[in-house]
Amino acid sequence: MMLNGIRMGAGLWHGNRKGTEKVMAQSLRENLHLVSDPANLDLSVEEVFHMMLGAACVSLEERPAQEAETITAVVGFGGLLSGACVFRSGSSAALGIAARLTGMEFVEIDDTVKDAIGEVCNMLAGAWKGRVPDLSANCGLSIPAVITGSNYHIHVQAPEFKLHHVYRFEQSAFEVTIICDGLQ
């Protein structure tokens, strides 16, 4: 079957939804090393920033010094994998990313910047789960939530796995974290 833009492959479906989830659940557990492969996160960041912002991001070894004002966007995963994709940066990276995405200039984290950062996080979450076929089909995304302020922490108890990478964007940096707190 061909829809404009996507070719529907054959042989990937395993009967009804319930049956599909059973098969996928087994393969997700068995392929935990693929789901938690750190390279998928780097490739997802590269894809989103290259295609939507025309920018390259360099992976950094160390977390940058935290700015006074930070912005965090969270997109939840639900389904066979539960958890979240978390984007976090200081205001300078957020303003720069929003500017590249929209073609506008910003001097503060306003509603448009929050919207832009939420969308970036949404695309990162989608790109990341899209790299694992079993996840792509059996894991939904929430609407992005955006938090701004200073001196706040996001806690998750005993995740199944966590990927945390820092990237340089122009002269600033941002962090992306994938947290998996449940794998059915």
- Applying CB under 8 A, among 83, 90, 96, 118 the residue interacting with another protein is 118
Give the shortest CB-41-to-another protein separation in angstroms: 15
Quote the CA–CA distance of 61 and 58 in Å, as a whole number: 10
Q: Does the protein bind another protein through residue 126 (CB under 8 A)?
A: yes
Under 8 Å between Cβ of 141 and 77: yes
Sign of the alpha-carbon torsion through 103, 73, 47, 57: positive
Does residue 122 interact with another protein by CB under 8 A? Answer: yes
Residue appearing with tokens 């010094």:
65
With binding defined as CB under 8 A, does residue 56 bind another protein? no
* Contact window for another protein (CB under 8 A) among 31-39, 124-132, 153-161, 173-181: 124-132
Q: Which residues are within 8 A (CB) of 69 and not within 5 positions of it... i.e. 6 or more apart?
A: 90, 91, 109, 148, 149, 150
Q: Nearer Cβ to another protein, position 43 or 66? A: 43
Among 33, 103, 108, 151, binds another protein (CB under 8 A): 103
